[in-house]
């Protein structure tokens, strides 16, 4: 069943970080299906190429931009290359993220910094570098955060700090950039099936327990999260900025007590 009118994004260009796998790849595929030309940024070139070739085989247009969002020079060069190739930039998706579960009492300074650098600093880098091309005709940014941003979560102090930072920065950017025609929003997913994050956070039997505790009794699919992004970047989201779209099947309603 088609959830949206076809070719909603015809003529637009989208840059997706973390576009080589998981949620980022799913978003790239859906935006491309809807007519956007997409640029995929990520560290693993072979993963980016795999997603790009799937998009091209389906008749879409995809460019790969190998690089690390922690390095501003990589980000700046990627945005420049995207605009050179496609002539514009309308949509930016911050999907790149790093995560591993660890008790805060055992987390090293560098481990905390690694996640802050990928998630929070990386998101700032991408928004900052994209500002000028987005402001030419207006556009929108969607950052993928997580419920850890506001639900106290065991083993996730570093991730929660980074995602909470993105949530707050999103509101600040929405405030500053509204007059440039740039909308800035987030999606906060709960558990999403088929992602590296879930494999790391809820391996084996934990996954089943968690699933039973989600009010909707299942994980999200990558396609559902991508659908939320499409809603925000489409004309249906044209008056939404500075907002968080919570897509967690109701899990945050339980607070942090998800394994009881």
Summarize as ranges the residues that interact with ligand COA (CB under 6 A): 97-100, 102, 108, 110-111, 114-115, 118, 196-197
Indicate the DSSP class of residue 179.
Answer: G
CB closer to ligand COA out of 49 and 71: 71
Least distance (Å) between residue 40 CB and ligand COA: 15
CB closer to ligand COA out of 197 and 227: 197
Number of residue whose CB is nearest ligand COA: 98
CB closer to ligand COA out of 88 and 223: 223
The residues with which 187 forms a beta bridge, in sequence order, are 144, 245
The pair phi, psi for residue 139, each rounded to 5°, is 180, -165
Among the listed residues 122, 101, 96, the one whose alpha carbon sits nearest the alpha carbon of residue 44: 96
Least distance (Å) between residue 223 CB and ligand COA: 18
Angle between helices 222-233 and 22-33 (to 10 degrees): 50
Among the listed residues 127, 217, 203, the one whose alpha carbon sits nearest the alpha carbon of residue 169: 127
Q: What angle do CA 240, 8, 127 make, to 5 degrees?
A: 50
Q: How far apart are the first and last CA of the chain?
A: 36
Least distance (Å) between residue 101 CB and ligand COA: 7
CA quadruple 105, 121, 196, 253: dihedral sign: positive
The residues with which 227 forms a beta bridge, in sequence order, are none
Least distance (Å) between residue 2 CB and ligand COA: 29
CB closer to ligand COA out of 114 and 164: 114
CB closer to ligand COA out of 99 and 241: 99
Least distance (Å) between residue 212 CB and ligand COA: 22
């Amino acid at each position: 069943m088609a959830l949206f009118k076809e070719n909603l994004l015809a003529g637009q260009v989208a840059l997706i970080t973390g576009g080589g796998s998981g949620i980022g790849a799913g978003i790239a595929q859906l935006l491309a299906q809807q007519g956007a030309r997409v640029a995929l940024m990520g560290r693993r070139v072979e993963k980016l190429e795999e997603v790009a070739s799937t998009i091209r085989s389906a008749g879409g247009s995809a460019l790969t931009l190998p690089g690390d969002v922690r390095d501003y020079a990589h980000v700046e060069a990627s945005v420049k290359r995207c605009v050179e190739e496609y002539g514009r930039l309308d949509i930016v998706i911050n999907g790149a993220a790093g995560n591993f579960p660890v008790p805060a009492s055992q987390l090293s300074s560098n481990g905390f910094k690694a996640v802050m650098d990928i998630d929070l600093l990386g998101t700032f880098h991408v928004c900052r570098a994209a500002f000028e091309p987005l402001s030419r005709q207006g556009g929108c940014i969607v950052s993928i955060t997580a419920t850890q941003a506001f639900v106290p979560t065991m083993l996730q102090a570093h991730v929660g700090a980074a995602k909470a930072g993105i949530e707050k920065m999103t509101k600040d950017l929405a405030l500053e950039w509204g007059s440039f025609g740039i909308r800035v929003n987030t999606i906060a997913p709960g558990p999403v099936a088929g992602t590296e994050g879930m494999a790391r956070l809820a391996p084996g039997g934990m996954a089943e327990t968690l699933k039973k505790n989600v009010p909707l009794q299942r994980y999200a699919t990558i396609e559902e999260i991508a659908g939320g992004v499409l809603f925000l970047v489409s004309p249906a989201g044209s008056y939404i900025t500075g907002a968080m779209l919570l897509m967690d099947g109701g899990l945050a309603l339980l607070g942090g007590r998800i394994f009881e």
